[in-house]
Structure 1
Amino acid sequence: MKPGMTRRLLACAAVVAGLVGASVAPAAAATLKMAWAQDATGLDPHKQTAFSSIRLLELVYEPLVRLNGDLKVVPALATEWTFAPDARTLTFKLDPKAKFHNGQPVTAADVKASFTRILDQATGAVARANYASIASIDTPDDHTVVFNLSQPDVPLLTAMGSVNAAILPASEIAAGKIGTAAVGSGPFKLESWEPNAREVLKANADWAGGKVGVDGIDIKVLPDENAILAALRAKQVDFALLNDPLVATLVPKVAGLTLNRKPVLSYHVLQLNPSRKPMTELAVRQAISCAIDRKDVLDTALLGEGEITGPLTMPQYRSDPKTLFCYSRDLAKARKLMADAGYANGFSATVIAATGEPPTAAAEAQVIQSQLKEIGIKLDIKLMELNVYVDTWLKGDFDMAVALNGGRADPYSMYNRYWTKAGNLQKVANYIDDTLDDLMQKGRVETDPAKRKDIFSAFDKHLAEVSPWIWLYTGYAYTAQQQNVQGFVPTPDGSLFGLSAVSLK
């Protein structure tokens, strides 16, 4: 048992000791009392990558469309959309009832200003590569937007279902206020934000999506998830987002609490930096892949609460991990690869990990450190506060990184920012080859589902074999709630947008 894991188990055991007792129904309230362990790192929806930021901002901002629990595209600010037969234009009709929180109507001009901002490299929009096919935008009237494309782009519509493609007021963009205030059109208004302490959300009475089920959400930031569980037990919290499986699996032991447990598309990964020696060597990267026992990392750090995965995590495209390069641990092969690359005696490197997101990052790093030691790799673990980690990660300033990255419903919109030559996060991936770029481009324009599956199957296998990153596993999204909370439905993308439909009984 690793030291970090022991400390977490002891902390959880202390909570378990107090879990027995009669359940008292919480009093009815108009405001949902909520808790989570990690706060948002910023308010600009186009630039945020942290899960904690996305979970807050998706309650405040809206894209043109969104994905439902079956990962199907459904209306958001747009009520309908049409691809031209040649897939060269994509036309949206906006909901005429949609308004921003400042009372201004959402118009085609706001959509054009938002995507112009996203496509501007100076913005630093994290999903810019998903929309690079947009050549121009026409606004024939206030409620019609026409995206003219430089080429057919099958996954573009799905990519627009992200809060990273949120529609912002053109007036706020022109005034340079994005990120300093949160003026969205979503179901909740951000009334106040005390970083790392509290957020207060108020229901948007003018939300075009319908009536919000609660008057607001009062969110407390409690960095210790054991404290969140204690607050749930004491009826101080109605609803909580949990990330640590050691805590989440205790929820069913508490009378009156319900655990929502949903498999998600996001994936745990050991990211290598192939621009730094010796990770520049294919044999070294492959040796690391062969030396990692993914099942051991999963069982030790996540209590087995997950499933081993390759690069693609969406059900329609996911490969059987047994078909991927070195997914069964092979130390003999790993040592030979190290020797072939001239590193028979190993080398030293640093792996970075964030504190709190995910809460298992330190434990994952410790297990990986132990496993790589067996082939002579000495890893120094450097833990960072989340905002520092994100800044370091975006600069690609690491030897290795333990990460939890978001998944997408479509392989292209999930990975083109990393694994295409024009990808805007190429400086994070620090690796590209002609095969990856070619397969991504073919998958982007192919409309036949069976052919797309074949293309991305080849992409999946090639990416696992060249091993710029070592994919580990997918996990679960956990939320816990009191019996008086009704109507929340978890989704594969881990979204909390479903809180817009929650009511308190």
Structure 2
Amino acid sequence: MSKLASLAVAALLACTVTPVAGRQLTYSWPTNVGLLNPHLYAPNQMFAQASVYEPLVRYRDDGTIEPWLATAWTISRDGRTYDFALRPGVTFSDGTPFDAAAVKANFDAILANRSRHAWLDLTRQIDRTEIVGPLAFRLVLKAAHDPTLRELSLPRPFRFVSPAAMGEGGTTAGGIRAPVGTGPWRLVETRLGVSDTFAANPTYWGAKPAFERLVVKVIPDPNTRAIALQTGEVDLVYGAAGQIPSEAFLRLRDQTPAFSAAVSRPLATRVLALNSARFPTDDRAVRLAINRAVDKDTLVRTVLDGIEPRADFLFAPTIPDADAGLTPHGFDRAAAERLLDEAGWVRGRDGVRAKAGRPLGLELDFVGTNAQQKAIAEVIQADLARVGITVRLVGEEESAILSRQKDGRFGLIFGETWGPPYDPASFVSAMRAPSHADYQAQAGLPDKPAIDAAITAALAATDPDERRRLCAKVLTALHEAAVYLPISHAVAIEVHRPTITGVGFGATLNEIPFAAMRPAAGGAGR
């Protein structure tokens, strides 16, 4: 953990700071935060859901799980039954008590929409829930499920809204009446296309936020966001690299003491999924050649300005259970040429390879408004052209790209692993769901059923050595099949003005520790 992150966690857990009247922290995001239903997904923004709603247990950046709304828990010897002791004296921001009845009501609402959450294996493994006492809750699974606690810590769906705020048909069919959680912030105003305003929760059980208000301004364009930071319109830029252009980040980082800036440790992996069920990437030689033909070191240096480190595997070897001892495919243009030659892909006069009269061409799909994805796509297009592969770039709206990921209409398509605490267990679990690009990319592999069976066994393994062996089996099969082109390890960046202190990185990419941030001594309030 970095020194800044350590200070942030300490401030959140141990210090109570009295809000300074009139002080607000101003942040920005590309869209409004949504209705903030804790049990649903887009357009609800995860950082905002995590600011309002809390989990039973919380993931720490050292990979351990700590008590949160549950102060303690026990697990049965067969790994099926979890008994949670709930924190006393906690209320939702509307005054409703947080107790075992409220926890069960939320679990019931989530499980009523079980199919929507099928990507998360825990929702399929839950057999029943029980109220054991006023502050005692029991979760019973159908079978042992190793990532249970990590999945309970996620920003969604296992977080808690006041039962009084649930709709008549539950949180899915009936929606919610208002976003009422137990967290340090509560949403008080939304201005579509302009901003969302949160107020500090005066009844929060933990350390109170030092700011009275958190204003999240809607700024879709990264360049405009960088200008807003420079002019003082916002105090803070925080999130995945790309929140502002990398060159703007590097420039602001050098402007000390006007700005402070930092880069997190690697949190996820930026990848391209290669469709094994669609021509021409149904040919393993083509997938391997793509992996050997892309000069990732140059790409990282020129497009990502060196902010994100190169990735060689689906997960960084530092991720628990993800070090399978694999050898990187590595950049080797001559080797890519040989692979294609030996597989019968012959260059024509125009330099484009073909086989049985079919040219070696494919589509690379990306979010059209994402300048970083577009720049990466252009580099890959040029690299693959050098070995005789033509690439047509297709930039579309994010919703269209998501549709392609779900139904397999892609040759190459951008994606990312989800970072801790999802990686690796929750991420590989979702590979078995047809609604994900990972499933579609693997659908043409002859050993796809064996891969899915190994994933299922790994999730149920109670012996750590057996779990690691099964994870290695899955990761080795995917690596040898070359259904992913890892590009770089995604990081979080932060740049803030000197008017605030206590800025550090959270344990995950999707939770921002606003409550740990404080006005700087002598800083002007807004």
Distance between the aligned counterparts of 2:474 and 2:77, measured in 1?
27
Distance change >3 Å, CA 450–CA 248, structure 1 → 2: farther
Q: Does structure 1 residue 31 correspond to structure 2 residue 24?
A: yes
More displaced stretch, 439-448 vs 174-183? 174-183
SS at match of 1:249: helix
Q: 233, 241, 249: which is aligned to 2:230? A: 233
Q: What are the within-5 Å matches in structure 2 for residues 416-495 of structure 1?
A: 416-420=428-432, 423=433, 425-426=435-436, 429-430=439-440, 431=442, 433-495=448-510
SS in 1 for 2:491: strand
Asked if the contact 1:325–1:461 (Cα under 8 Å) also holds between the matched residues in 2, the reply is no
How far apart in 1 are the matches of 2:159 and 2:151? 11
After superposition, residues 182-201 of structure 1 pair within 5 angstroms as 182-201=179-198
With 340-349 and 360-369 compared, the bigger mean Cα shift is at 340-349
Residue 92 of structure 2 aligns to a residue in which SS? coil
Matched residue type, 1:332: A
1:110-259 correspondence runs (5 A):
110-120=102-112, 124-125=116-117, 127-164=119-156, 165-170=158-163, 172=166, 174-175=169-170, 176-178=173-175, 181-241=178-238, 243-244=241-242, 245-254=246-255, 255-259=257-261
Task: Name which one, 1 or 2, has greater alpha-carbon Rg.
Answer: 2
1:47-446 equivalent positions in 2, closer than 5 A: 47-48=40-41, 53-120=45-112, 124-125=116-117, 127-164=119-156, 165-170=158-163, 172=166, 174-175=169-170, 176-178=173-175, 181-241=178-238, 243-244=241-242, 245-254=246-255, 255-309=257-311, 310-313=313-316, 315-317=318-320, 323-324=326-327, 326-333=329-336, 336-337=339-340, 340=343, 344-345=353-354, 346-355=359-368, 359-409=371-421, 411-420=423-432, 423=433, 425-426=435-436, 429-430=439-440, 431=442, 433-446=448-461
Aligned length: 475
Offset of residue 231 of structure 1? 2.4
Paired with 2:504 and 2:228, the residues of 1 have a C-alpha distance of: 22
Q: Distance in 2 between matches of 1:299 and 1:73?
A: 36
Q: Secondary structure of 2:495's partner? A: strand
| Cα distance in 1 for residues equivalent to 2:291 and 2:398 | 26
Instruction: Please report how far the alpha carbon of residue 36 of structure 1 lies from its aligned counterpart in structure 2 after TM superposition.
Output: 3.3
Distance 1:122 1:452, change over 3 A: closer
CA distance in 2, matches of 1:167, 1:426: 26
Specify whether residues 122 and 133 from structure 1 end up closer, same or farther in structure 2 by C-alpha distance, changes over 3 A only: closer
* C-alpha spacing 1:483/1:405, structure 2 compared with 1 (3 Å): same
Distance 2:129 2:434 in 1: 21
1:269 maps to amino acid:
V
The residue aligned with 1:43 is 36
Shift, 1:199, TM fit: 1.3
3-state SS of the aligned residue for 2:233?
A: coil
* Residues 185-205 of structure 1 deviation map (CA, whole Å, 9 limit, x = unaligned): 221111223344311111111
| In structure 1, distance between residues paired with 2:482 and 2:192 | 37
* Other-structure match for 2:16: none
The Cα offsets for residues 147-203 of structure 1, whole Å up to 9 and x where unpaired, read as 111221121111111112222344515354437743332211112233443111111
Find the aligned partners of 2:317 and 2:510 in 1 and give their Cα distance: 15
Question: Conserved in 1, the CA contact under 8 Å of 2:22 and 2:212?
Answer: no
Bigger mean CA offset, 113-122 vs 224-233: 113-122
| Alignment-mate amino acid for residue 231 of structure 1 | A
Cα drift, residue 378 of structure 1: 2.5
> By how many angstroms is 1:268 displaced?
0.7
Change (3 A) 1:347 1:212: same
- Deviation readout 1:343-374 (Å, 9 max, x if unpaired): 842433322222556x5111111111112223
Q: In the alignment, is the contact (CA less than 8 A) between 2:79 and 2:462 conserved in 1?
A: no
Q: Which runs of 5+ in 2 are unaligned?
A: 1-19, 347-352, 521-526
Give 1:120 shift: 4.7
Counterpart in 2 of 1:501? 516
Please state how far the C-alpha of 1:486 moved relative to its aligned partner.
Answer: 2.1
Unmatched tracts of structure 1, length 5 or more: 1-26
User: 1:325, 1:198 → 2: CA distance?
Assistant: 45
Take 2:106 and 2:303, find their aligned partners in 1: how far apart are those partners? 40
What are the Cα deviations for residues 245-299 of structure 1, in whole angstroms up to 9, with x where unaligned? 2222222232321112102322211122333333333333233222222223222
**C-alpha distance in 1, partners of 2:478/2:373?**
23
